[in-house]
Amino acid sequence: MTNGRHPCADGLTPECFKKYPEWAKMLFAQKLMGTLFPPEVTKNLPTAVQQAMGQPPPGWPADQPMPAALGLAPPPGIIVPAGGVAAPLYTAVGAAGGGGALAGRNVVAQLTPWFYDPFTTLDLTVWTEYNWGAATNTISAGRLKQTSPLATVAEIDSAANAGIPTDFDWSFDLTYDTDLGGSFYPYLYTGAHSLELEFDPPTLLRFRNAIAWQNFTVDTFLGTTDTWTLQYDGFTASLYRGTTAIFTELTPPIRLTGAGIIHLPTEEGTIYLDNLKIAAPYAAGSSACD
């Protein structure tokens, strides 16, 4: 407490997250769930989950009512500390404890991605750089900036982590800033398959299926910012640009090693990448892009 005042008395403040991170994350998830899901969904949560989410913060006097700032409905202007939510809400690939593997198919677990990086910093305990020549990886305006002059590659790779879910949505915000003739190649090993994309500006996108690379011509992504989501059901993959399907249910090549490794190389150009996320679908048989 600060000056005898409970650190969570004013809501989800930086002091509250610092003192009681697990409880603060639970309340934040509850508020987020109330925003994203209708009552028809939240009322069907198991009773034990509802009771756990309704508990006051540790150390709160039992004879005192919960303050309005900690109400069930999200209050206007939830206070989120800089980096305070992003860091607790994900366990980085390669971190101790088996990553942030999701346990079961319930709504609460689905609100916490298995991996999430907002790129407010370049965490070199998570990523390893493999730059060629004058290529660089930097953080600019809260995004990863990969700058790759001619005949160079800017790349960061994560470590392996076998706790990756068996099916998930892999999404990221991509701004393809400049093109010097190269491509951006994000790829991910699931433990069963290799999910490989290639963005070749301005309009060519490739996906490696079980036999060969398959080409797709799309509206230009050079100079635009788009959210790309690759849905993986354990057997096939589908790609969305926003909510528009680029392809559906293609079979990726088999790869049984390196589960959880993420590779992010960019050659001959500059991109910005943000909000890289690997998360279980919102419900079995559906996803955020449905």
pLDDT in tens, 161-182: 878 999 999 999 999 999 999 9
Higher local confidence (pLDDT), 141 or 81 = 141
Q: Which two tokens stand for residue 85?
A: 């939510």
Given a cut of 50, whether residue 104 has pLDDT beyond it is: no
229 vs 200: CA distance, rounded Å = 17
> What are the backbone angles phi and psi of residue 260, rounded to the nearest 5°?
95, -5
180 vs 173: CA distance, rounded Å = 21
pLDDT of residue 200: 98
Question: Over the stretch 8-29, which tens digit does the pLDDT of each residue have?
Answer: 887 778 888 888 888 888 777 7
Name the average pLDDT for the chain: 79
Higher local confidence (pLDDT), 36 or 130 = 130
Q: Where are the domains of the chain?
A: 1-86, 116-279
Segment among 37-41, 155-159, 249-253 with least mean pLDDT: 37-41
Mean predicted confidence (pLDDT) in 181-209: 97
Confidence of residue 63 (pLDDT cuts 50, 70, 90): low
184 vs 279: CA distance, rounded Å = 22
Given a cut of 50, whether residue 254 has pLDDT beyond it is: yes
- Residue 221: HSE in the Cβ half-sphere, 13 Å Cα cutoff: 26
Mean predicted confidence (pLDDT) in 48-67: 64
Confidence of residue 54 (pLDDT cuts 50, 70, 90): low
Higher local confidence (pLDDT), 106 or 41 = 41
3 state SS for 38-84: CHHHHCCCCHHHHHHHCCCCCCCCCCCCCCHHHCCCCCCCCCCCCCC
Higher local confidence (pLDDT), 225 or 82 = 225
Segment among 29-43, 170-184, 239-253 with least mean pLDDT: 29-43
**Helix residue ranges, H only, the chain:** 14-19, 21-36, 39-42, 47-53, 107-110
Question: Which CATH architecture best describes the domain 116-279?
Answer: Sandwich (2.60)
pLDDT of residue 97: 34
Residue with tokens 């942030």: 100
pLDDT of residue 36: 67
Higher local confidence (pLDDT), 95 or 202 = 202
Give how far the C-alpha of residue 189 lies from the chain's centroid of Cα atoms, to the nearest Å. 16
Higher local confidence (pLDDT), 285 or 271 = 271
Closest C-alpha among 280, 281, 284 to residue 102? 280
Q: Which two tokens stand for residue 184?
A: 């951006």
pTM: 0.62
36 vs 56: CA distance, rounded Å = 22
Given a cut of 50, whether residue 240 has pLDDT beyond it is: yes
Mean predicted confidence (pLDDT) in 127-154: 96
Neighbouring CB atoms inside 10 A of 94's CB total 18
